[in-house]
Amino acid sequence: MTIADPAGAALASLTGARALVARTSTAERVADAVRNEVVEGRLRPGGRLPEQALSHALGVSRNTVREALSQLVAERVLVREPNRGVFVAVPDAEAVRDVYRARLLIEPAAVREGERADDPEAVGRLRAAVREGREAAARDDWPGVAGANQHFHRALVGLAGSARLDQQMGLLLAEMRLVFHRMTSVREFHEPYLDGNDAITRLVESGERERAAAEVASYLRTAEAQILAAFANL
The footprint of DNA (CB under 7 A) covers: 22, 25-27, 49-52, 59-64, 66, 80, 82-86
Beta-carbon contacts of 195 under 8 Å, excluding residues fewer than 6 positions away, are none
The entry of a second copy, DNA, none near residue 109 (CB within 5 to 8 angstroms by kind) is a second copy
- CB burial of 66-105 (b: ≥16 within 10 Å; e: otherwise) equals bbbbebbeebbbbbeeeeeebbbbebeeebbeebbeebee
| Beta strand spans in the chain (E) | 48-49, 78-81, 85-88
Q: Which is nearer to DNA, 2 or 233 (CB)?
A: 2
The entry of a second copy, DNA, none near residue 154 (CB within 5 to 8 angstroms by kind) is none
The entry of a second copy, DNA, none near residue 147 (CB within 5 to 8 angstroms by kind) is none
Smallest gap from residue 9 Cβ to DNA (A): 16
**Positions in the binding site for a second copy (CB under 8 A):** 22, 25, 27, 63, 66-67, 70-71, 74, 76, 82-83, 98-99, 101-102, 104-106, 108-110, 113-115, 160-165, 168, 171-172
The entry of DNA, a second copy, none near residue 144 (CB within 5 to 8 angstroms by kind) is none
61 three-state secondary structure: coil
Beta-carbon contacts of 89 under 8 Å, excluding residues fewer than 6 positions away, are 45, 76, 77, 78, 79, 175, 178
